[in-house]
Structure 1
């Protein structure tokens, strides 16, 4: 099977974007999961954290379905949504679009460049859910805010929130970041376990300065990634709830792939978050998957020439982190 794709990334969180807007779906449900496993293999295929399938929709401008590298389907992906939103907006000749995700229809808007020459989009992250049943997290209580989970750590305080992807967040210092605890507990609760039956994204958050945080995420279905959009959004919210940052003010979030900005909005009885960051197109190519052989190849690569400009943003982000370590 042959098809066209675009390699894209948001904060270094990279994806293969496949256009099925014509209404002629290229893959069966079973093939989508297999294609993700084969194509996202960095040793034998083009490699990526996941695949963004862009499909036709009757009430929104498009549908985005996200399949992780292990073949599982994600409820949402903030970094992927920026890239999908850019693709749809440019294809339709618009500055904004409504994209249907698994749990909600979300607004995507072109935004002023976060750094010179870096194409930037603002996406809505919602709904925000604190009830543990939304993750799910099996504890004998309704919510978890700055509390210990002794099966995971005797010292760390965790907050659980779904946006709508499930997230477990701890505010930490440099020692916790440098140690192995995040990897160990993340792997534990993303294997069969009693606490998180569906797994969970685990983020360690280090405050750098007022309005500036660093977030590292072990992403369910992927492992450690350069960045996770919903994790950075949820982490920004948690820092606001802890009084470290302010509602309605931009928070710069640094990650291993660069940086984004998040603005936490307080609604009448809930929250929503604006995630602002790059939507970088790396290259287009022709892909081919042999499902019988379990192989994936790609040819006819055309580089968009955007990564060099994004590298300037990465340099700026690394310099800020180095000063505030």
Structure 2
């Protein structure tokens, strides 16, 4: 039997599949097709998800495993902060370790079990790295800029200011107000920049944010390859860094920033030492369901043969969210 876990970080939902436990090897093509089917929001498994997190062995020193992020449309993301927390919990419980590294596309990232956010709300703290500002990391060469920092970009919007940070997923960040977030401007811009366009040719994650209080922000993300998500870990981290750079200019800082999102809340520790940035994202790593299905039925999309076991963690997570001010 094959086991899938349905998990979430701030309601950014995924399935975890451990390829090391499969009865037979599945190719990347098979994994992509499987992902598209099980994550489908109309007829997928358990109402679908934002993507699939593929766990594999790693040959890198001090790592417990490799994480790959397959989006719902079949594209592959270089990183996922919310997903990394859930994979960290999975590997922690699999190997009985609480502090280790996980291999991702661009870096081996340090992860650590954190204090529970609330009763039965497990949490992990994960490193987000590397940080880049140069246009090649996106790319946006046709904008004729080497970087974008808290400035208008008329080719995109005549009035809003943007900051571009890759961590390593490329993010375009706007600080405005609650009214702007609730208009259709963000959706139109997100669809445009992630379709055929001359400016962000590989697409870009779009984050709209506003300050609730000092060092407290709200972030909503239109995610490349997914669309609107309840939360985006790298997006919240990149937005926290942008917030610190804008509000603490020309100084080293070490700030904990509380980030609210449509799916809950996380904490970002954002530290600058000279020109180096250290970013740590802490939030829930919730398992909502455990699914057992024979591999051939999974490959053939015969999902009605799945045996589904619901955990009690989601109700505890919702109690935590309802307690937030």
1:144 to 141, 148, 159: 148
CA contact (8 A) 2:2 2:22 kept: no
| Structure 2 partner of 1:125 | 128
| 1:249–1:25 CA distance, 2 compared to 1 (3 A) | farther
Q: In the aligned structure 2, how far is the partner of 1:239 from the partner of 1:45?
A: 37
- Deviation of 1:19 after TM superposition, in Å, equals 1.1
| 1:112–1:154 CA distance, 2 compared to 1 (3 A) | same
1:177 to 181, 186, 191: 181
Using structure 1 for the length normalisation, give the TM-score.
Answer: 0.92
Q: In the aligned structure 1, how far is the partner of 2:245 from the partner of 2:305?
A: 46
| 1:230–1:128 CA distance, 2 compared to 1 (3 A) | same
Using structure 2 for the length normalisation, give the TM-score.
Answer: 0.92
Which structure 2 residue ranges, 5 or more long, are not aligned? Answer: none
- The DSSP-based 3-state class of the residue aligned with 2:187 is helix
- The DSSP-based 3-state class of the residue aligned with 2:247 is coil
| Structure 1 partner of 2:32 | 33
| Structure 2 partner of 1:95 | 98
- The DSSP-based 3-state class of the residue aligned with 2:93 is helix
Q: In the aligned structure 2, how far is the partner of 1:148 from the partner of 1:313?
A: 38
- The DSSP-based 3-state class of the residue aligned with 2:149 is coil
- Deviation of 1:294 after TM superposition, in Å, equals 6.2
| 1:295–1:74 CA distance, 2 compared to 1 (3 A) | farther
| Structure 2 partner of 1:323 | none
1:71-104 per-position Cα deviation (integer Å, ceiling 9, x unaligned): 0000000000000001001110111121000010
1:273 aligns with 2:279: yes
Which structure 1 residue ranges, 5 or more long, are not aligned? Answer: 321-325
Q: In the aligned structure 2, how far is the partner of 1:210 from the partner of 1:224?
A: 26
1:49 aligns with 2:61: no
Q: Superposition RMSD on alpha carbons, in Å?
A: 2.0
Where does 1:212-251 land on structure 2 (aligned, <5 Å)? Answer: 212-243=216-247, 247-251=253-257
| Structure 1 partner of 2:309 | 302
| 1:25–1:155 CA distance, 2 compared to 1 (3 A) | farther
CA contact (8 A) 2:51 2:72 kept: yes
Q: In the aligned structure 2, how far is the partner of 1:154 from the partner of 1:316?
A: 39
Q: In the aligned structure 1, how far is the partner of 2:220 from the partner of 2:296?
A: 32
- Deviation of 1:24 after TM superposition, in Å, equals 6.7
Tell me whether 230-239 or 131-140 shows the greater mean CA deviation.
Answer: 131-140
- The DSSP-based 3-state class of the residue aligned with 1:157 is strand
Q: In the aligned structure 1, how far is the partner of 2:304 from the partner of 2:238?
A: 36
1:259 to 265, 281, 296: 265
CA contact (8 A) 2:86 2:286 kept: yes
| Structure 2 partner of 1:18 | 17
- Deviation of 1:244 after TM superposition, in Å, equals 6.8
CA contact (8 A) 1:20 1:26 kept: yes
Q: In the aligned structure 2, how far is the partner of 1:231 from the partner of 1:126?
A: 12
| Structure 1 partner of 2:291 | 285
